[in-house]
Structure 1
Amino acid sequence: MTARKPSRKASRKTIEAAAVEVPPTPQRTPTEITAPGAAGTSVASAPRDRPADAAPPRPRRGGAGPSARPAPALDEGDRGRLLAGEHHAPHDVLGAHPVPGGVLVRALRPFAHSVTVLTTGARVELHPEGDGFFSGVLPAPTVPEYRLQVVYDDAALEVEDPYRFLPALGELDLHLIGEGRHEELWRALGAVPMEHQGVAGTRFTVWAPNARGVRVTGDFTYWDGTALPMRSLGSTGVWELFLPEVGEGALYKFDICRPDGSHTVRADPMARRTEVPPATASIVTAAHHEWQDADWMAHRGDRPVHEAPFSVYEVHLASWRPGLTYRQLADQLPAYVKDLGFTHVELMPVSEHPFGGSWGYQVTGFYAPTSRMGSPDDFRFLVDSLHRAGIGVIMDWVPAHFPRDDWALAEFDGRPLYEHADPRRAAHPDWGTLEFDYGRTEVRNFLVANATYWCEEFHIDGLRVDAVASMLYLDYSREDGQWSPNEFGGRENLDAVSFLQEMNATVYRRNPGVVTIAEESTAWDGVTRPTDRGGLGFGLKWNMGWMHDSLLYMAKEPVHRKYHHDEMTFSMVYAYSENYVLPVSHDEVVHGKQALVAKMPGDWWQQRADHRAYLGFMWAHPGKQLLFMGQEFAQGAEWSEAHGPDWWLLDPSYEASGDHRGVRTLVGDLNAVYGAVPALWQRDTSPEGFSWVDGGAAEDNVFAFLRYDADGSPLLAVSHFSPVVRHDYRLGVPVTAAEGWVEVLNTDAARYGGGDVRNEEPLKAEAVPAHGRPASISLTLPPLATVWFRPA
């Protein structure tokens, strides 16, 4: 492997001197990276498992060219700070600088035998100063264009000098970062491949205001960052270094000198790609995916989400079909979800996380899709495929906390930075993690920009924000003495409130058609109220109360349900206080809570019937729907992230597969009727869209209500949670003429695995008053079933 031609103006002798073979390292066969910058233009990268403190191969003697005039001695203070990795302005010492009588060039190249400056028509060898420093004064009136030839024992490398480049981050970027208002922060911080001063490379920037010094380290330096100190860009706390010839695929971290002088090596908080866990390095990357979803993006905001069909299939990508990559998922998931009729998928967190058993809820790489299933472009391909199938993509987003891993965000630069400085505010009491400091402008900027990043860079259509309640309350899961009140003496976390308002306002302003959804389990007022009216500004909120109450009711034996009737009706007392989603999520089918069908009492027939009837009740109830994978075919076992849904239950060779396929057919029909009948979604947030027919039939275990669309067209939903058939059951209806009511869905139908007790003919409305209405119909109620009717 030969070094790249250094310069069209360099001599043939120079080129020949640079062509030196690089032997493979002993641990494993090395891989070449294109233009790895400080290490050389064509050099083998270090093995991935090489220790962080390992040294490069020992240098070999060599070198050529006349020597430069000796430079003034290096200041001992500068020498010590550079070697200790705690210099704030390495570009002031390293690189080329005019001096009386010429241009002083100084390089820091540990383990090198010689360093030679290559300029137009000349090559001048620098003098060794010890500790890896080389310097000399070139007889030139101004700083020339130059490159460096660095000779080691086993390589002669021609490279650009990183210290001849001006800062690659603009003043506006720094101003916005300092103000905490950089809404495209990912374009300013992290590793950004770019061309700078006519040279291709990567700009590395990191926010570390407490650091005494920061260095870049990576596989292109054999994980020794001594030669690559970064410069501080003033009071913003941002450090920067442009590394020419370092490109995509390079692995890197930041070597940070803490305030006490000790060092810590950290992954990039802004990394857009990471190694596959348990490896922890960040990877230089850029987006190349060509989107095909222009029509979807142009029209996704045509109708407000709370006035549109919104039926969500919740997915844990890594276990939906274990072992599939993002691109393989793109071949299967869109077709499956489209066939079931869901309008959206909700992906459990895809941001990088070190422990798979956390399901993604303990994030270390907030800007990187997990590399377990492929690259960021592969994830873009999956989102694109879902959009082209007409399916929206919601992503779980976790700004409530982060883990304590010592290579990630915790005490990032030696002091609390992303977490609150008060240990009582920093430690999350439930999960052993750390809470963000929402009062710090840079931290809020990091999170707000992250929300917009997923929407803009990955075309995400919605963010479901996890654990909002734990953010809103200072005393969340804390005892007396473990928390302190806010400035007004209350328990509200005012910083978190302000952050959530800013995040929602920014996301909605920048990304029309995107929806934010709060997982908020308390009665906090105004979660979905606009921010300009004092609310948090979310578009939707998970109705945890409905989920808890309705599942409590369904778990009772039918004979006991009449004593818990209000568990199913209470949700209508507050149904219009927020814009709600009705969730049966992953949290309800793990950790001993049982799968949805297994929560139901009785034998297998009763369990399946209850399961189907409950889904029918859920789809008719005001609010949007969310169902976790596996529940669409009545999986009986709890979900496990290790093996995912029990797909074998649908295999025709399995004796009871018809039972499970019947439930899946029902879910598809529920979504089909739901999408076609505006009464079921158009007025979800308006009291005029709902009316009880009979909400008090506790003895019968019956719930009957009407849903209305904007034109007043009704749908009658009747849920019957007793295992008996009720004939001639009379219900009041709004239609008094000779029109009939037809059955449009019956969860007891044979195609779903039921007993097929049906209302075959249209039911004529009779002038028999019932339930406060002048007309009524007489119907047959199947056992443990939900039936929907519409006027003929």
Structure 2
Amino acid sequence: MTARKPARTAPSSSPAAGAPRTAPARTAPARKTAPATAARTARAEPSRPRRGGTRTARPLDGADRGRLLAGEHHAPHGLLGAHPVRGGTGVRVLRPYARSVTVLAKGVRVPLHDEGDGFFAALLPADTPLEYRLLIDYPDASVETHDPYRFLPALGELDLHLIGEGRHEELWTALGARTMEHQGVTGTRFTVWAPNARGVRVAGDFNHWDGTAYPMRSLGSSGVWELFLPGVGEGALYKFDVCRPDGSHTLRADPMARRAEVPPANASVVTASHHVWQDQEWMAHRGDVPAHRAPMSVYEVHLPSWRPGLGYRQLAAQLPAYVRALGFTHVELMPVAEHPFGGSWGYQVTGFYAPTSRLGSPDDFRFLVDSLHRAGVGVIVDWVPAHFPRDDWALAEFDGRPLYEHPDPKRAAHPDWGTLEFDYGRREVRNFLVSNATYWCEEFHVDGLRVDAVASMLYLDYSREDGQWTPNEHGGRENPDAVSFLQEMNATVYRRSPGVVTIAEESTAWDGVTRATDLGGLGFGLKWNMGWMHDSLEYMTKEPVHRKYHHDEMTFSMVYAYSENYILPISHDEVVHGKRALVSKMPGDWWQQRAGHRAYLGFMWAHPGKQLLFMGQEFAQGAEWSEGHGPDWWLLDPSYAAESDHRGVRALVGDLNRVYAETPALWQLDTVPEGFAWVDGGAAEDNVFAFLRHDAHGSPLLAVSNFSPVVRHGYRLGVPEVPGDRVAWAEVLNTDDARYGGGGVRNTGPLKPEPVPAHGRSTSVAPTLPPLATVWLRPV
């Protein structure tokens, strides 16, 4: 639109952007509304010239007039805009608050007749060009613009067909707000799925949040409503004014919005991407080796609190270098999709297609991902399709009835979080979520999706008591709709985005989480090993003198280690809400706590499975994490502590990652039994665990953890005979190294195998085991 004067003030000063607004009553006395009887008489008479040669158009039917004003009309384009009629071209415009409206076309300038209530109309000569503009005069401004109601639908039949089938894999290109050129005019196409609505209008800062002038048209049985608004471009704020089945109105953010206002404001924002990607090499090779056969150590990050106050672009200047220096292969970002309550850490999403504006624009987020890729770091994002909050401006009963949520209130209400569960059996809802998964992979180049709370989706009785849930058609507790959805999501992501891995946070013994969908599995690439995490942390919290009674908590994971493809997670959930930070879980004094922390990390990095560590735990932060202030970076300040204290633990993590990446035995056969062998898994009295890891060529690494606070000299361990000229075992990592803050008990020289049988092997070595430490040895 082209403003010729300062913006009009009717309605008067607009409230905070995005907030629901009530337009002042129109000054109806300034216009006259034709009575119904007069309208009927006018319809029976031929149109006749008026002042200045303008002829009146046939008046609107009273019912149509009322429905347009009430925002209940499904086909406003049939009544507004220009249409051929007997005797010429009828033009009708709905512009509340306007004093006059004039049609401008090539060689034509025709004032429209004021019909009252914001309607203006005239009968133009038949040869009037249909590519016209409107000159609209308000009490203190004049605006020249194209008429939105002279345009054909800007959404194609194929899009509508795919939406109706629930198979539109690029739904974000069809629904929402998209800037475009349509019929030679630049503007924004607005589309929204609201099948139960009686009418939908577009309201935004471009019309003072009064959608009366912008009713959308229904595109048939698809349930989609559409309107192309010329002149509306990037940065415009908008919502949908939805008329519910009962005639009431609700102002809703766009479910498909690709950008949102900074909370607590909640309007949607028209956006378009201008980012030029520079990660071509990364994208071309990220899928060369499947994730379960590649090294993967993940640094979990809550972006708003990693370095509080930094936006996406500022984070891009610091996070990639930090992660690369520590040797992590990936970062996992706690949810970045828009959410109104920061205290939910992003797990209560209202804008599934919009990166949170708290940290910048969508292109700013692209810049961060691009920077991580160019640093050689993969990006996994937490994705939350299990539930959504009940905010009355978002998805809940979006068009007046349950739409995204299940229609059965007992199935819709999530018992733990006060949120709503998606209706996975509805094809359009399933399409919304499947397309959202592909959206993050394709639009933002993310390398993985960690799917939150999978168990709550799979079980109908999740956190419900008897009588609070209904069995499935087979009498079971499984949710077949959720199973089907997860299978479709995984199959679609893997087909469309080679190199992407999907990861399930699934805490039960559901069979086949990481099994291929064509074999009946859910189709995930990896699964969080929640059992290992709980058992191993339970063991580590015990005083060393009591650990022998809990020895099997550290060995039990190998009973099921190859049932799925696992990640070993020490995530944010384990260091909040009174659970204590990782180092603070360890018993003993500060030295023993740090020693236990280091020994545990050494055990974890050697155990089959990929690794995940939450921020702050890489330098043994003693306090629980808080989203308000993030990690205690001051602990790393040389003026605060000796280099061997917190900085020593961080140095260990860097070395763990370096040796891990250089040693295929630690990751190449993570998911098959050939990659692991116990040397001694039964030394409960000694609190010792010793095992071998092998790569695809049989090259071994020996990992030994001593979780007692005593030095064990000459601790004999059976080792395999190594072919070739490698005749000794050398220490490649020792968590008791003085550089890490340990006591410096080392095996400084090579350990030559001796012909002394041990642990079922004909040869053995006898290393010294430091107290509360893990040692890795490798043939040299």
Report the TM-score, using the length of structure 1 for normalisation: 0.94
CA distance in 2 between partners of 1:46 and 1:645 (Å):
38
- Whether 1:456 aligns to 2:442 is yes
Question: Which structure 2 residues correspond to residues 546-565 of structure 1 after superposition, within 5 A?
Answer: 546-565=532-551
Question: Which structure 2 residues correspond to residues 437-586 of structure 1 after superposition, within 5 A?
Answer: 437-586=423-572
Q: Indicate the residue corresponding to 2:295 in structure 1.
A: 309
Task: Report how far residue 65 of structure 1 moved.
Answer: 8.9
Once the two structures are superposed, what CA deviation does each residue of 1:560-589 show, in whole Å capped at 9, x if it has no partner?
A: 000000000000000000000000000000
CA distance in 2 between partners of 1:712 and 1:101 (Å):
90
Task: Report how far residue 60 of structure 1 moved.
Answer: 14
- Whether 1:757 aligns to 2:745 is yes
Code of the residue aligned with 1:777 in structure 2: it is V
- Whether 1:48 aligns to 2:20 is no
Match of 1:154 among 140, 146, 152: 140
What SS does structure 2 have at the residue aligned with 1:779? coil
Q: Indicate the residue corresponding to 2:304 in structure 1.
A: 318
Code of the residue aligned with 2:17 in structure 1: it is R
Q: Indicate the residue corresponding to 2:153 in structure 1.
A: 167
Q: Indicate the residue corresponding to 1:739 in structure 2.
A: 727
What SS does structure 2 have at the residue aligned with 1:265? strand
Cα separation, partners in 2 of 1:168 and 1:46, compared to 1, 3 Å: farther
Once the two structures are superposed, what CA deviation does each residue of 1:330-351 show, in whole Å capped at 9, x if it has no partner?
A: 0000000000000000000000
Q: Indicate the residue corresponding to 1:330 in structure 2.
A: 316
Task: Report how far residue 141 of structure 1 moved.
Answer: 4.0
Q: Indicate the residue corresponding to 1:232 in structure 2.
A: 218
Match of 1:771 among 743, 756, 759: 759
Once the two structures are superposed, what CA deviation does each residue of 1:200-259 show, in whole Å capped at 9, x if it has no partner?
A: 000000000000000000000000000000000000000000000100000000000000
Match of 2:244 among 247, 251, 258: 258
Cα separation, partners in 2 of 1:24 and 1:391, compared to 1, 3 Å: same
Contact 1:736 1:775 (8 Å CA) reproduced: no
- Whether 1:388 aligns to 2:388 is no
Question: Which structure 2 residues correspond to residues 50-449 of structure 1 after superposition, within 5 A?
Answer: 52-55=21-24, 66=52, 68-141=54-127, 144-449=130-435
Task: Report how far residue 145 of structure 1 moved.
Answer: 1.7
Contact 2:396 2:404 (8 Å CA) reproduced: yes
Task: Report how far residue 58 of structure 1 moved.
Answer: 7.7
Between Structure 1 and Structure 2, how many residues are aligned?
760
Contact 1:65 1:116 (8 Å CA) reproduced: no
Once the two structures are superposed, what CA deviation does each residue of 1:85-144 show, in whole Å capped at 9, x if it has no partner?
A: 010000000000000000000000001111111111121111111111111100124662
Code of the residue aligned with 1:121 in structure 2: it is G
Report the TM-score, using the length of structure 2 for normalisation: 0.95
The Cα RMSD (Å) is 1.8
Question: Which structure 2 residues correspond to residues 591-740 of structure 1 after superposition, within 5 A?
Answer: 591-656=577-642, 658-735=644-721, 739-740=727-728
Task: Report how far residue 728 of structure 1 moved.
Answer: 1.0
Task: Report how far residue 49 of structure 1 moved.
Answer: 7.1
Contact 1:398 1:466 (8 Å CA) reproduced: yes
Task: Report how far residue 25 of structure 1 moved.
Answer: 9.0
Once the two structures are superposed, what CA deviation does each residue of 1:320-366 show, in whole Å capped at 9, x if it has no partner?
A: 00000100000000000000000000000000000000000000000
Cα separation, partners in 2 of 1:689 and 1:126, compared to 1, 3 Å: same
CA distance in 1 between partners of 2:437 and 2:17 (Å):
32
Which stretch shows the higher mean deviation, 395-404 or 146-155?
146-155
Cα separation, partners in 2 of 1:756 and 1:56, compared to 1, 3 Å: farther
Contact 1:364 1:402 (8 Å CA) reproduced: yes
CA distance in 1 between partners of 2:174 and 2:733 (Å):
54
Contact 2:26 2:96 (8 Å CA) reproduced: no
CA distance in 2 between partners of 1:150 and 1:576 (Å):
71
Task: Report how far residue 736 of structure 1 moved.
Answer: 6.8
Contact 1:565 1:701 (8 Å CA) reproduced: yes
What SS does structure 1 have at the residue aligned with 2:213? coil
Task: Report how far residue 157 of structure 1 moved.
Answer: 1.2
What SS does structure 2 have at the residue aligned with 1:610? helix
CA distance in 1 between partners of 2:765 and 2:495 (Å):
49
Contact 1:274 1:283 (8 Å CA) reproduced: yes
Cα separation, partners in 2 of 1:56 and 1:146, compared to 1, 3 Å: farther
What SS does structure 1 have at the residue aligned with 2:318? helix
Once the two structures are superposed, what CA deviation does each residue of 1:370-404 show, in whole Å capped at 9, x if it has no partner?
A: 00000000000000000000000000000000000
Which stretch shows the higher mean deviation, 652-661 or 618-627?
652-661
Q: Indicate the residue corresponding to 1:786 in structure 2.
A: 774
Code of the residue aligned with 1:791 in structure 2: it is P
Cα separation, partners in 2 of 1:21 and 1:661, compared to 1, 3 Å: closer
CA distance in 1 between partners of 2:632 and 2:247 (Å):
54
Cα separation, partners in 2 of 1:322 and 1:558, compared to 1, 3 Å: same
Cα separation, partners in 2 of 1:434 and 1:26, compared to 1, 3 Å: closer
CA distance in 2 between partners of 1:679 and 1:56 (Å):
75
CA distance in 1 between partners of 2:593 and 2:53 (Å):
88
CA distance in 2 between partners of 1:99 and 1:728 (Å):
102
Once the two structures are superposed, what CA deviation does each residue of 1:739-787 show, in whole Å capped at 9, x if it has no partner?
A: 1100000000000000000001100101110000010001100000000
Cα separation, partners in 2 of 1:278 and 1:67, compared to 1, 3 Å: farther
Contact 1:59 1:153 (8 Å CA) reproduced: no
Code of the residue aligned with 1:545 in structure 2: it is G
Code of the residue aligned with 1:308 in structure 2: it is A
Contact 1:726 1:781 (8 Å CA) reproduced: yes
What SS does structure 1 have at the residue aligned with 2:429? helix
Query: What is the percentage of aligned positions where both structures have the same residue?
Result: 80
Contact 2:4 2:144 (8 Å CA) reproduced: no
Cα separation, partners in 2 of 1:727 and 1:415, compared to 1, 3 Å: same
Task: Report how far residue 20 of structure 1 moved.
Answer: 3.6
CA distance in 2 between partners of 1:674 and 1:57 (Å):
71
Once the two structures are superposed, what CA deviation does each residue of 1:451-503 show, in whole Å capped at 9, x if it has no partner?
A: 00000000000000000000000000000000000011100000000000000
Code of the residue aligned with 1:125 in structure 2: it is P
Task: Report how far residue 48 of structure 1 moved.
Answer: 2.6
